[in-house]
Amino acid sequence: MKSRNVFLSLLTIGLSWSCSNDDEQDQEPLGDYANGILVSNEGPFSNGTGTVTFISEDLSVVNNGIYKMKNDEDLGNVVQSIGFTEDEAFIVANVSNKINVVNRYTFEKIASITDGLNNPRYFIEANGKGYVTNWGDTADETDDFVAIINLQDYAVEGTISVALGPEAILAKDNTVYVAHQGAWGQNNKVSVINTATNEVIKTLAVGDAPNSMQLDASGNLWVLASGKPAYTEDETAGVLSKINTVTNEVDNNIQFETTQHPSGLNLDGGVLYYHLGDTVFEQSLSSTTLGMEAVLEDVSFYSMVINNGRLYGTDAGDYASNGTLTVYDLNTKMAIEAITVGIIPGGIYFN
């Protein structure tokens, strides 16, 4: 009797292992561009097209122009950003007023959105819809809006009027936050949008020209504003603002010096990072004053993203030929790899 039970147990284990092994073998890879880095390249401003570069996770494989490679067509001018749903990438071409929707892992085209956009900037998914910031006509300070995209048919099904220059956009649950950098000018607002009603429920004042936002693990929204530059003849200091997303009130404003204009707010390992001049600094989430602790010096970036202890920084070079992406280890402060990408690399994303 015991022998029979042992035999049945071994048979069950064998079948279980076999099925499990078969499942693993049958599981197909998501696509050629899974488990890697995507870089959106703006392309030349006055003509031509933007592109997207794929870099494998180990940095050994680099494929430039993957959208054209897969779909035999151009993305449009200028490729401003890429936003994501679970399986899709929304590639925003600002000057062309177009968003190309692709499978984020294969980059095969699904749809193009061309109606209902006017100077589109950034995309986010929230509450089953897509939300895209739009500058509108830059000569008109009253026509800025957030477009609402139906993610079933990829049509713009509505708009939300907002203040001048909506730029960075971020979602927390069913609330969307929009930073108003001010288009070609400067603004100092963050709009709070309820996606259940698609209405602006609050407008918060932060520093001048808010350029980037991050959500921490406690649900606080951090907004970095660069301040007005000197050429405006009304120069103002950069500001790091902490917003309580439960009350939607500004809890604290951390001031920089008047001549300090930070950008590129990042959050990694529970620490905030930003770029100022030729230095990357870190800032404790618990500090109510400016720390100014340097983590990387003598660097210059067009854009910057920090992920898992590595800094990925782009250099646009002469803005007419291919730029570079340089990867740094923040522990050693050393560059790991410099990779040639497309013209004016502006966005860095992990796929």
- Of 235, 261, 287, the position where a domain reaches its end is 261
Domain of residue 205: give its range.
Answer: 115-261
| Within a domain: 318 | yes
Task: For residue 5, tell me if it sits in a domain.
Answer: no
Cα distance between residue 146 and residue 135, in whole Å: 9
Q: Round to whole Å and give the CA distance between 30 and 20.
A: 19
First-residue to last-residue Cα distance in the chain: 54
The predicted structure's pLDDT at residue 28: 65
Inside any domain, residue 8: no
Name residues whose C-beta falls within 8 Å of residue 72's C-beta, 6 or more positions apart in sequence. Answer: none
The full DSSP string for 28-75 is --S-TTSSEEEEEE---SSSS--EEEEEETTS--EES-HHHHHHSS--
Residue spans of the chain under pLDDT 70: 1-28
Q: How far apart are CA 87 and CA 351, in angstroms?
A: 10
How many other C-beta atoms lie within 10 A of the C-beta of residue 114? 14
Identify whether 78 is preceded by a cis peptide bond (ω within 30 of 0): yes
**Within a domain: residue 106?**
no
CATH of the domain at 139: 2.130.10.10
pLDDT tens by residue, 273-307: 999 999 999 999 999 999 999 999 999 999 999 99
**C-alpha to C-alpha distance for 208 and 186, rounded to whole angstroms:** 6
- What pLDDT sits at residue 4? 38
Establish if 323 belongs to a structural domain. Answer: yes
Query: Which pLDDT score is estimated for 2?
Result: 36
Task: Say if 76 falls within a structural domain.
Answer: no
Residue 182 lies in a domain: yes
43 and 154 fall within a common domain? no
**Whether 253 and 139 share a structural domain:** yes
- Domain final residue pick, 231, 261, 291: 261
Q: What is the pTM of this model?
A: 0.91
pLDDT recorded at residue 24: 46
**In this predicted model, what pLDDT tens digit does every residue of 193-217 receive, in sequence order?**
999 999 999 999 999 999 999 999 9
Last residue of a domain, one of 213, 238, 261: 261
Domain membership of residue 10 (yes or no) is no
Q: Are residues 157 and 252 in the same domain?
A: yes
In this structure, the answer to whether residues 151 and 247 fall within a common structural domain is: yes
Does one domain contain both 248 and 119? yes
Q: How many domains does the chain have?
A: 2
